[in-house]
Structure 1
Amino acid sequence: MDVTAIEPGGRKGLPPHTGPGAEREDAFADLRETVDAYYSRRLARFGPTPLGVDWSCVPTQEMRFVQLLKLCDFSTSRKLVLNDLGCGYGALLAYLGWRHPGVALDYLGVDLSAAMIAQAKRLWRGQAGIAFATGSECPRVADYSVASGIFNVALDAPRERWEAYVGSVLSHLRATSRIGFAVNFVAAEPSTGSLKPGLYRTCPDRWISYCESELGAGRVELVTAYGMREFTLLVSV
């Protein structure tokens, strides 16, 4: 895939957003800009490292990849067509190269932060089957989509508005995934005093119900108990 084939549009690197989704694009522009600025600052401070995308270390970052990629079928020789929304500097590619070195990959990484995408392009320059674009949505349909951590940093957004935003992103993932998509969330717990402020915490039932009733998902698998205060949803469409 040649990333230059993705023409610039109304949002950096994406086609102009028109039609029924245009209202949603306008409605959440300020939230996306705030998140964009937050992660761009993290990258400037910590570089292309887990801390640069607000994770604590490589092992926990990769543990999240393990859960998200349970969605994908690696048992065949068929090319893996994958969208990575909120890709950061492309850390998932390093994990795929280590854990699934033989996979034929057609990968598109998308991120709000232009600085993240510039870093990703430098790190993965010249790699076949890999492309990146700056934006809030994936400009193509893939077999699978994953999104790691993109719902966590709500900052000062009111909860109701942040959840409307989360719902809109899940709807987009549903529309751009042929087989399924996977996402993760920080889990709501009785005692969360040690977690930093500005994180969105939630219960699985809230979003399992949304995927089933609002998005018409064929199956939603809940993945928990992997050593962190969070959960992953594997959604078959």
Structure 2
Amino acid sequence: MTAPSSNASSSKSPVAITEAFRAHHLDLFETHGATPQGLGWRNQETTDLRYEKMLAVIPAPLSKQSVTLLDVGCGFGGLYTYAKTHRPDLNLHYTGIDLCAPMIDHARQLLADDSVCLEVSSLFDYQPGEAFDFVVCNGILTQKLTTTIPAMDAYAQALVSRMFELARVGVAFNCMSSKVDYTEDHLYYRHPLDFLGFCFNTLSPDVRLDHSYPLYEYTIYVYHGKQG
């Protein structure tokens, strides 16, 4: 992820953390446009790998069925574009929310011919009419900007808990691994077992951890019940 500008907030307020994320990603998008760098990622290859891991939340028995998915921090809808190209087997009813209005505007133009729902909103403010089968969050919890670790821990737990409330089947999210050669101050590193333990003890015992792909991060999957 790209380092934040110097005006990012260090406040412990969830509202201030959300606003710092919005300002940071708005700056990235204005600088780099609809590219991986505009999302804070290095290149298309690693971006696509993250999309693949998000879609892996959908168990094989459900992959042929019609499913609804909420993409939290959707950017310009890259996950949906990836799914259309690389996972044509999925019958995906896609909703994306993002803090940055220009990203949502671009996504609406890009996906104008698709039956998708795109809204400018934070997850904490978002009030959908009904739950989704799956809720994913790709990237938000890999960064902290200038937020303190305790404040970011509380924010992350609240975000994942809200995701789980809105999911009928399961959720997926990624975080930077603590198993790294070096760290960068603006990124959010957590030991995978710490985060897995929170999910296991607080949300559901039906959890899965993927720390096996070639990035310095991991993806956690949490389900409302066992998946075949």
TM-score between both structures, scaled by the size of structure 2: 0.86
**Contact 2:142/2:175, CA 8 A, preserved across alignment:** yes
> 1:99 Cα shift?
1.4
Which segment is superposed worse, 117-126 or 84-93? 117-126
Contact 2:14–2:155 under 8 Å retained in 1 = yes
Pairing partner for 1:108 from 84, 95, 101: 95
State, as a whole percentage, how many aligned pairs show the same letter.
25
Deviation at 1:74, TM superposition (A): 5.0
Could you list the runs of 5+ residues in structure 2 that have no partner in the other structure? Answer: 1-11
Which of these residues, 51, 56, 60, is aligned with residue 70 of structure 1?
56
Aligned counterpart in structure 2 of residue 209 of structure 1, from 197, 202, 212: 197
Alignment partner of 2:143: what SS? coil
Q: Tell me which residue corresponds to 1:80.
A: 67
Alignment of 1:198 with 2:193, yes or no, is: no
Taking the TM superposition and a 5 Å limit, the aligned residue runs for 1:4-83 are: 27-73=13-59, 75=61, 76-83=63-70
- Of 165, 171, 183, the residue aligned with 1:181 is 171
Distance 2:178 2:83 in 1: 30
d(CA) in 1 for partners of 2:214 and 2:89?
A: 28
Shift of 1:96: 0.3
State the Cα deviation string for residues 1-36 of structure 1 (Å, max 9, x = none). xxxxxxxxxxxxxxxxxxxxxxxxx94111100100
Verify the 8 A CA contact 1:179 1:236 in the aligned structure 2. Answer: yes
Supply the distance in 2 between the matched residues of 1:31 and 1:135 (Cα, whole angstroms): 14
Aligned residues: 208
The runs of 5 or more residues in structure 1 that have no matched partner are 1-25
Distance 2:200 2:96 in 1: 26
- How far is the alpha carbon of 1:122 from its aligned partner? 1.4
Counterpart amino acid of residue 107 in structure 1: Y
Aligned residue for 2:221, secondary structure, equals strand
Out of 77, 82, 87, the position equivalent to 1:90 is 77
Conserved 8 A contact 1:89-1:120: yes
1:39 match: secondary structure: helix
Conserved 8 A contact 2:180-2:216: no
Counterpart CA distance in 1 for 2:141 and 2:56 is 19
Q: Aligned partners of 2:215 and 2:81: how far apart in 1?
A: 22
Corresponding residue for 2:146? Answer: 156
Query: What CA RMSD, in Å, does the superposition of the two structures yield over aligned residues?
Result: 1.6
Partner of 1:13: none
Maintained 8 Å contact 1:74/1:103: no
CA distance in 2, matches of 1:64, 1:235: 17
